[in-house]
């Protein structure tokens, strides 16, 4: 399955600032990244941060537009869970305080289920427990806040899924993706769990087919996977568009964990 993705971001800044972009897919066939400030090109520096491809840009005063496009062949081997990744994916993190949910998780789930069934059960429970409400959550909300509030957006669904899995001693992390079939189109976040030694994605929102997702990056939670981080200055986020299309019919929705290449 060939997938074409694109993203355009516009920010305005009164002075210099440093921007870190995470919009590039993990394994492109072809791609193009262009950054312009008031029509003049800005240099980008790609650095590897864990499994993420991060592009650093030194912004100038003015209006900066980021344009990214890529083609992806989704065929590829599944990603194995390394010992280092397993250790990191079991620990509590800023938005996934799994240590605070151990009692709840133990009471709600049978940890003796086969791993794939347990991951599916957690995602199903999160889907049933929450309502998808754009703008309902704050940027600082954790998985515990989401559980108590009972609503949120994709990152909140992913955070709660990840936190509950970690509370059940299942290595889990958040994955930022392009999601063909998502409506309205945007960057999307899903959970990824260790299923018998392979990283497999599960989407508690059920808003896009898991079999069509294209990996951007993974991390402990949204703090590691933000598409734009600004440091050393101030800037105003003006606009964003995201597209993702496939060259054939989308796969069925499915709820079982699915390995993302």
Structural domains of the chain in order of their starting residue, each with its CATH number:
2-74+227-246 (2.60.40.2250), 83-222 (3.10.620.30)
CA nearest 122: which of 38, 21, 70, 191? 191
Q: Encode pLDDT of 23-58 as tens digits.
A: 999 999 999 999 999 999 999 999 988 888 999 999
Output the pTM of the full model.
0.95
Q: Encode pLDDT of 240-261 as tens digits.
A: 999 999 988 887 777 788 998 8
Angle of helix 154-167 relative to helix 115-129, nearest 10 degrees, comes to 140
Cis amide linkage into residue 241, ω under 30° from 0: no
Residue 73 pLDDT more than 90? Answer: no
CA nearest 260: which of 206, 191, 205? 191
The per-residue pLDDT for 48 is 86
Residue 99 pLDDT more than 80? Answer: yes
Residue 170 pLDDT more than 80? Answer: yes
Are the C-beta atoms of residues 166 and 155 closer than 8 Å to each other?
Answer: no
Q: How many residues does the chain have?
A: 261
């Amino acid at each position: 399955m060939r997938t074409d993705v694109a993203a355009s971001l516009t920010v305005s800044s009164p002075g210099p600032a440093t921007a870190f972009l995470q919009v590039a897919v993990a394994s492109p066939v072809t791609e193009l990244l262009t950054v312009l400030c008031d029509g003049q090109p800005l240099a980008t520096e790609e650095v590897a941060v864990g499994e993420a491809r991060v592009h650093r840009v030194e912004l100038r005063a003015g209006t900066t537009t980021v344009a990214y496009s890529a083609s992806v062949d989704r065929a590829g081997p599944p990603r194995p869970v390394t010992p280092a990744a397993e250790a990191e994916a079991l620990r509590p993190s800023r938005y996934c305080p799994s240590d605070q949910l151990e009692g709840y998780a133990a009471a709600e789930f049978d940890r003796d289920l086969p791993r794939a069934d347990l991951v599916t059960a957690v995602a199903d429970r999160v889907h049933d427990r929450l309502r998808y409400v754009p703008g309902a959550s704050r940027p600082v909300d954790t998985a515990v806040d989401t559980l108590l509030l009972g609503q949120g957006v994709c990152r909140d669904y992913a955070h709660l899924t990840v936190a509950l899995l970690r509370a059940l001693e299942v290595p889990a992390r958040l994955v930022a993706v392009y999601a063909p079939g998502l409506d309205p189109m945007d960057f999307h976040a899903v959970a990824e769990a260790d299923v018998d030694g392979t990283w497999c994605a599960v989407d508690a929102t059920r808003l896009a087919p898991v079999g069509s997702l294209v990996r951007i990056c993974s991390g402990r939670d949204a703090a590691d996977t933000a598409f734009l981080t600004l440091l050393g200055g101030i800037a105003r986020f003006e606009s964003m568009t995201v597209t993702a299309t496939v060259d054939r019919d989308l796969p069925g929705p499915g709820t079982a964990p699915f390995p993302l290449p």
